[in-house]
Amino acid sequence: QSALTQPASVSGSPGQSITISCTGTSSDVGGYNYVSWYQQHPGKAPKFMIYDVSNRPSGVSNRFSGSKSGNTASLTISGLQAEDEADYYCSSYTTSSTWVFGGGTKLTVL
Amino acid sequence: QLQLQESGPGLVKTSETLSLTCTVSGGSVSSSNYNWGWVRQPPGKGLEWIGSISYSESTHYNPSLKSAVTLSVDTSKNHFSLKVNSVTAADTAVYYCARLSRWGDLYYFDNWGRGALVTVSS
């Protein structure tokens, strides 16, 4: 299985909104509404941020939102804050009953 | 509060077997509410799903790793384990163990260990 495609980096200023894309195929992102997103700060374990494309676990800020169109899922962070600077990974369930991650996107808050 | 802790050798020789254990505290590996899994991250690179195991020891593996990987659960010790056979330098990574909980229709990685760096070298 091939990794999902994410931009290597995105950036934004405090208070702005940014969107990170995650492109797969009809065998993963496009075939299921089972996309999740993880936030990872340097040297730390990933943190579960979004599931089922657009749902937030309890405790995750409502500044984080997810969506999907066709084979591409997106994570939007509104009202950017300095602590949002991190790496972000998408993940999708696949037709093989497995999981695949994206390559990761480094978010820089300017 | 649930805690997961990876343990095992930090250095493994090429062609040998990498073995890691994830000890669970504040929860039970025999609970039917959860699955357990492993994800690795080569230095400076992205996450790679290795595999998952249920409380009933049903397993799913990354197809690219399937022939080399074995997951198991030991309910008496409340831990689960990963073995990777015939390792090469490409298996050098931080290995994370994680719990999968049911959110909506599926189980997602919602609680992670701190990770253990394993270096493969001759």
State pLDDT tens for residues B4-14. Answer: 999 999 999 99
**DSSP code per residue over A61-99:** -TTEEEEEETTEEEEEE-S--GGG-EEEEEEEE-TTS-E
Q: Is the pLDDT of residue B2 over 80?
A: yes
Token pair listed for B80: 């689960």
Mean pLDDT over the full length of chain A: 96
Q: Is the pLDDT of residue A1 over 80?
A: no
Contact B48 A101 (CB under 8 A): yes
pLDDT category of residue A2 using cuts at 50, 70 and 90: confident
Q: What is the pLDDT of residue A26?
A: 95
Q: A20-58, pLDDT tens digit by residue?
A: 999 999 999 999 999 999 999 999 999 999 999 999 999
Q: How far is A92 from chain B (nearest CA, A)?
A: 10
Q: Name the residue facing A104 among B46, B60, B63 (closest C-beta).
A: B46
Q: What is the pLDDT of residue B55?
A: 83
Looking at residue B88, the DSSP 8-state letter turns out to be -
Residue A18 CB contacts under 8 Å (≥ 6 apart), including other chains: A10, A11, A12, A76, A77, A80, A107
Substitution target in B38, B109, B117 with the highest count of A β-carbons within 10 Å is: B109
Instruction: Report the 10 Å Cβ neighbour count for A79.
Output: 12
CA max distance for chain B = 45
Q: Is the pLDDT of residue A72 over 90?
A: yes
Q: What is the pLDDT of residue A110?
A: 94
Q: Is the pLDDT of residue B105 over 80?
A: yes
Q: Is the pLDDT of residue A97 over 90?
A: no
Residue B67 CB contacts under 8 Å (≥ 6 apart), including other chains: none
CA neighbor of A3 nearest in space, from A19, A20, A22: A22
CA neighbor of A40 nearest in space, from A85, A77, A7: A85
B77 forms beta bridges with: none
In chain B, which among 37-76 make CB contacts under 8 A with chain A?
39, 45-49, 52, 60-64
Place of tokens 């409340």: B78
Q: What is the pLDDT of residue B56?
A: 86
Please state, in angstroms and rounded to a whole number, the distance separating the CA atoms of residues A52 and A3: 19
Q: What is the pLDDT of residue A28?
A: 95
Q: B16-69, pLDDT tens digit by residue?
A: 999 999 999 999 999 989 999 999 999 999 999 999 999 888 999 999 998 899
> Following CA atoms A29, A31, A34, A36 in sequence, which dihedral angle do they give, to the nearest 10 degrees?
0
Q: Is the pLDDT of residue A102 over 90?
A: yes
Task: Annotate B21-38 with b (16+ C-beta within 10 A) or e (fewer).
Answer: bbbbeebebeeeebbbbb
In chain B, which among 101-120 make CB contacts under 8 A with chain A?
103-106, 108-115
Cβ B89 vs Cβ B120: under 8 Å: yes
Q: Does A101 touch chain B (CB under 8 A)?
A: yes
Amino acid at B52: S
Q: What is the pLDDT of residue A34?
A: 96
Q: What is the pLDDT of residue A22?
A: 98
**DSSP code per residue over B3-71:** EEEEES-SEEETTS-EEEEEEEESS-TT-TTEEEEEEEE-TTS--EEEEEEETT--EEE-TTTGGGEEE
